[in-house]
Amino acid sequence: MSTVRTTPGLSPQVGRIARLLRLDPTEVQGLEGVDDADLRIFHDQISRTLFADAQQRFARIAGLSKTIPGPLAGILAEKFLPPVMAARTAEMLDPAKARDLIGRVSVKYLAEIALALDPVRSRPVVQKLPPEPIGKVAKELFGRKEYATMAEFVGTVTVEALFAALHAASPHDLLAVVPLLEWNENLDKVIAELPAAQVTQIATALTAEELAELALALDPSRMGPIVSAVPVETVAGIAAALFERGEYAGMARFVGVVTPEMVHAVIVDLPAEDVRAMVAELDPTELAELALKLEPTALGSIVAHVPVDTVGEIAQVLFERGEYAGTAAFVDVATEPMLHAALGVASARDLLAIVPLLEWSPAVDGVVDTLPDATLDGLFAEIANGTDWEAAKGAFERLSSTAQKRLFARFDRLSKANRTKIRNAADAGELGPAAAALMAGTPA
């Protein structure tokens, strides 16, 4: 059987139909505007009509495999059963028998059968096949550049078979096949666990432009394992290629997987308009996740382009996750209006946790000094209720004297029980010097 390749720009489904009709894809004209789902149905209708009369015969041939000894069945099949018919028969085979037969025919014959198999009907049989021969068939098909047909089987094979198949792919095979894949959990697992040698091969064999292409096809967030094997200068090249294509959303996700050492190459020194466009593609949750990954210089480059309202939403996400160190790093590079937005959404508990972690500055003082009274009341109650005097001391002693005085001016608003707790802590010497002094001046 001749090799039928999908013409670039043509749906792989047209390639499958052409294969069924024993034609070159260019001979199947007029289907360009039809969507893939309809083309799949059409393919199956053609397949049924071509082989309808022979269904009984295929069933009998499949049954014959139970009678004839395995070695002979393999030889007879390869010699007398054309691959397209073998495929129809294979779909009816007992899975255990298929498992036995797969080792008794040549890889070339298996590859021809694979090209003619229906990914859905053959699933029960294919799922029972061992990964090793599937890897060999994949190698043969990659060699023939039958990417579109292979991509059809992603949902058919087991994760082990997928490992074996993608292990047989060269970096350029991956580059060609990945854009055609319908993503599923198995693929996620296989890509995340590519063998180190293959990752290195991909990282070194593909150019920065090709890696950018792969990043977009995979989704940049899945590029982590590959990026970690790529030299820093290539990472910069990938970023440049993504920006050149206007792939700001892709770039934003790509930044999330580069190592901290690579961040400089990717983010810092980028033109402001590129960073702004990239930031605009991310929602507050994604920006929060990015903030957790980036080191201060890179984070600063990004935060400068985040709208103030969004900063509050990012802080909210980080506080909800208890990511106080991450929030502190984020706050450290924020402007004063951003600080107001970020600390404005903090609960008393959040403030108590984050204040000791902040890089203190007049700007932070300015924000804390203007916290609403209700927040200060909550903060004071949180200190008393928590009775973690060390943490409270750490936070309180960092506040400006204005904030400290504002806080203690509200001492009598605390419940009697909480007032007692704080007095007792002061008597026991558990408060810091500023708090102790203010406590001493507070009427009993």
**Shortest distance in whole angstroms from residue 75 CB to other proteins:** 9
Q: Cα(444)–Cα(434) distance, rounded to whole angstroms?
A: 18
Q: Should residue 46 be labelled a site residue for other proteins when binding is judged by CB under 8 A?
A: yes
Task: Provide the token pair at 311.
Answer: 């900063």
42 binds other proteins (CB under 8 A): yes
Lookup: tokens for 354:
């984050």
Q: What are residue 378's phi and psi, to 5 degrees? A: -65, -40
What are the start-end ranges of the H helices in 117-231?
123-126, 131-143, 147-152, 159-167, 171-177, 185-192, 196-205, 208-218, 224-227
Q: Which of 22, 108, 189, 413 binds other proteins (CB under 8 A)?
A: 22
- Find the binder of other proteins among 3, 23, 272, 401 (CB under 8 A): 23
Least separation in angstroms between CB 34 and other proteins: 5
Q: Are 203 and 233 in contact (CB under 8 A)?
A: no
Question: What's the residue count for the chain?
Answer: 444
| H helical segments located in 294-398 | 296-303, 308-320, 324-332, 336-344, 348-354, 362-369, 373-386, 389-396
Residues 425-444 that bind other proteins (CB under 8 A): none
User: Per rule CB under 8 A, is residue 2 in the interface with other proteins?
Assistant: no
List the x/- string, 62-101, binding to other proteins by CB under 8 A.
Answer: -xx--xx---x---x--xxxx-xx----------------
Q: Residues 432, 408: contact at Cβ < 8 Å?
A: no
Phi–psi pair at 83, nearest 5 degrees: -55, -40
Among 48, 108, 189, 413, binds other proteins (CB under 8 A): 48
Nearer to other proteins, 57 or 413 (CB): 57
Contact with other proteins (CB under 8 A) among 2, 8, 9, 52: 52
24 near other proteins, judged by CB under 8 A: no
Q: How many residues bind other proteins (CB under 8 A)?
A: 40
The CA distance from 325 to 355, in Å, is 10
**Site residues (CB under 8 A) for other proteins, limited to 326-355:** none
Helix axes of 248-255 and 272-280: crossing angle, nearest 10 degrees: 90
Instruction: Name the residue among 119, 125, 86 with its Cα closest to residue 105.
Output: 86
Please identify, using beta-carbon distances, which residue of 30 and 433 lies nearer to other proteins: 30
Least distance CB 299 / other proteins (angstroms): 49
In whole angstroms, the minimum distance from the beta carbon of 60 to other proteins comes to 4
Residues 201-230 that bind other proteins (CB under 8 A): none
Kindly state the smallest distance separating residue 22's Cβ from other proteins, in Å: 6
- The contact set with other proteins (CB under 8 A) reads 20-23, 27-31, 33-35, 38, 41-42, 45-46, 48-54, 56-57, 60-61, 63-64, 67-68, 72, 76, 79-82, 84-85
